[in-house]
Amino acid sequence: MSRASVAGRPRPSFAGWLGKTNDITRTFLSAGRIPGLINMGGGLPEPATFPVAEIARIAGEVVAAHPGEVLGYGPIEGLPELRDALARRFSGPTTRLTRENVFITSGGMQGLDLLGKVLIDEGGLIAGQFPTYLGALDAWRPRQPSFRNMQLEDPAFDAQAALAGAQFAYAVPNFSNPTGRMVDLVTRKALVDAAHRTGTWLVEDDPYGLLHYDGDPLPRLIDISAGMAPAPTYAGPVIYMGTLSKEIAPGLRIGWVIAAPEMIEALTMAKQGSDLCTSGLTQRVALAALEAGLIERIQPTILATYRARRDALCAAMQAELAGWFEWEVPVGGMFVWAVARDPALDTDLLLPHALDAGVCISPSSVFDATGRNRRAIRINFTLNEPERLAEGVRRLAVALTKMQARRS
């Protein structure tokens, strides 16, 4: 936004990047308040899966047991016991993690934001898997980076060429947001190998790793990396990021970064100028929940619920949208990525018609750094019950028909 004047008086202005962004995240985080709207736009979990009684009990207990700690300021890097618990959780036969490898963030989003602060110089180059998570683009946009498009599914993908010269590479290997796809093992190994050879940081953003509905999981990039260069404390180039948002509940705002100690040091400097520390209350709740095995207890219900919803959405799409879009059934995550058969179909234009018809979806332009990919939509299947998903898809078909009528 440029400096403007009203009645001859200069007005205070905003940073330039604000004029180059979008507010789609605000749209779907607030869509739940619009009466009757079916929100299939955001990556929102089903609130009925939240372990309400356990969290209430644990919260009461930790306030009583650790009042000074949960209500006071805490260490910037996070609660030491929670860092230890996460180091244990993510250690493996060759992945040796200590507290120095673990950093607690206020949600996964803060990890992305702080990474931008410590890794991106003005105009720096990021190698990204596209289409990519719009929150990552939002986090890094103020630094005005440039992007190199890593086409991880292209058989000719050359990981070393993709990473060379970039300040870091960013991927969501498990059930990517927005496409729901999984990066295969060969490409995982190639990315890690290229990160080691070129000395490029490789960000593995993994909020959906546990939301796996069919087939077997693949190794994490950080585990592959640790196997390539064993060390008593992990010191490689992979920066692994996780969150409790999809494993327990997003309102806890607990995320983590697992990386070489030098990266944890840098993030600590950045968080010092951000929120000082993550809530001591929710860190203590997270620690108690991890120790009590809460994630393992609620996971079967989450998986059964989401698997059934994925199937319901895909069945409804087959009935109503197959003439308009094509898609793959995702094996995990929260989304179906549907690409229009007609290359001229503009999903930015579809969004207002969809909202008019009472359904919210995300258009592909927001997952593209250039905003030029306008041919696809991301549809969430975790928030709504099967009947509502079917109704949302019917509304989308109505919106498409109306938009088509306008065009012809």
Name the residues that contact ligand PLP, by CB under 6 A: 43, 107-109, 133, 135, 172, 177, 205, 207, 243, 245, 250, 255
- Asked if 207 contacts 242 with a C-beta cutoff of 8 angstroms, the reply is yes
99 Cβ contact partners less than 8 Å away, ≥ 6 residues apart? 80, 83, 84, 87
Residue with tokens 């929670």, as numbered in its chain: 82
User: Least distance from C-beta 107 to ligand PLP, angstroms?
Assistant: 3
User: Which lies closer to ligand PLP via its Cβ, residue 39 or residue 198?
Assistant: 39
User: Which lies closer to ligand PLP via its Cβ, residue 51 or residue 135?
Assistant: 135
- Asked if 169 contacts 191 with a C-beta cutoff of 8 angstroms, the reply is yes
Give me the residues paired with residue 239 across strands. 203
User: Which lies closer to ligand PLP via its Cβ, residue 316 or residue 366?
Assistant: 366
Cα dist from 310 to 12, 152, 209, 317, 376, whole Å: 48, 24, 16, 11, 18
CA distance 368 to 380: 18
User: Least distance from C-beta 102 to ligand PLP, angstroms?
Assistant: 16
User: Which lies closer to ligand PLP via its Cβ, residue 78 or residue 107?
Assistant: 107
User: Least distance from C-beta 51 to ligand PLP, angstroms?
Assistant: 17
- In degrees, rounded to 5, the angle at the alpha carbon of residue 28 between the alpha carbons of residues 22 and 33 is 130
User: Least distance from C-beta 211 to ligand PLP, angstroms?
Assistant: 11
Rg for the chain (alpha carbons), in Å? 22
At 139, is the secondary structure helix, strand, or coil? helix
User: Least distance from C-beta 255 to ligand PLP, angstroms?
Assistant: 5
User: Least distance from C-beta 109 to ligand PLP, angstroms?
Assistant: 3
User: Which lies closer to ligand PLP via its Cβ, residue 49 or residue 198?
Assistant: 49
Give me the residues paired with residue 380 across strands. 335
User: Which lies closer to ligand PLP via its Cβ, residue 171 or residue 288?
Assistant: 171
Strands 146-150 and 38-39: unpaired
Residue type for position 53:
A
User: Least distance from C-beta 155 to ligand PLP, angstroms?
Assistant: 25
User: Which lies closer to ligand PLP via its Cβ, residue 100 or residue 113?
Assistant: 113
Give me the residues paired with residue 6 across strands. 9
Q: Report which secondary-structure segment, H or E, holds 127.
A: strand 125-129
User: Least distance from C-beta 395 to ligand PLP, angstroms?
Assistant: 24
User: Which lies closer to ligand PLP via its Cβ, residue 100 or residue 247?
Assistant: 247
- Asked if 375 contacts 343 with a C-beta cutoff of 8 angstroms, the reply is yes
